[in-house]
Amino acid sequence: MSRTPESSPQETASLELTRTQVDQVLRHALGSGNLSVLLSGHSGAREVFQAARQYLDDVRLSRSLLSGLLILSVFPADRSSLRLADISRDLDMNTSTAHRYLATLLAVGLLARDEATREYRLAHDG
């Protein structure tokens, strides 16, 4: 910015951020990251995902996407951890199938895993 004689002695600057950088700033400011904002910040999100179970056999929809959303919906907003066995039991899902979804969500950073306990939780940007 240009400075005029009437302006403050402190100089000002402008900065342009990419959409990704803005998203990172917002996630950090909200104290959450990734999909945990959706799952914990919007009332009814978990219920919506759980209700989606009825659509798992609808050939017009992506069963994989619905299953991944269902996996995410079982995680508590307080980021407490869950075991694979509990997740597969709660969703009535084969353990190996649940593990594959968990591994995918872990790889893309939506979940975190405690190597000592082998439990999963919603990821955040720390």
Q: Is 7 contained in some domain?
A: no
The C-alpha atoms of residue 100 and residue 114 are separated, in whole angstroms, by 17
The neighbouring-strand residues paired with 113 are 120
Strand boundaries in 37-123, DSSP class E: 111-114, 119-122
pTM: 0.60
Show the tokens assigned to 87. Answer: 């997740």
pLDDT in tens, 10-34: 676 666 767 676 656 655 544 544 4
Q: Per-residue confidence at 41, pLDDT binned at 50, 70, 90?
A: very low
Show the tokens assigned to 62. Answer: 């992506």
Q: Is 91 contained in some domain?
A: yes
Say if residue 80's pLDDT is above 60: yes
pLDDT of residue 32: 44
The C-alpha atoms of residue 78 and residue 63 are separated, in whole angstroms, by 27
Q: Per-residue confidence at 121, pLDDT binned at 50, 70, 90?
A: very high
Of residues 61, 126, 123, 70, the one with CA closest to residue 98: 70
Q: Is 57 contained in some domain?
A: yes
Q: Return the CATH number at 76.
A: 1.10.10.10
Mean pLDDT (the chain) is: 75
Of residues 111, 63, 117, the one with CA closest to residue 85: 117
| Backbone region of residue 42 per phi and psi (left: phi > 0; alpha: psi in -120 to 50; beta: other values) | beta
The C-alpha atoms of residue 64 and residue 86 are separated, in whole angstroms, by 20
| Domain carrying residue 67 | 34-122
Q: Is 104 contained in some domain?
A: yes
How many domains in the chain? Answer: 1
Q: Is 9 contained in some domain?
A: no
pLDDT of residue 118: 94
Q: Is 27 contained in some domain?
A: no
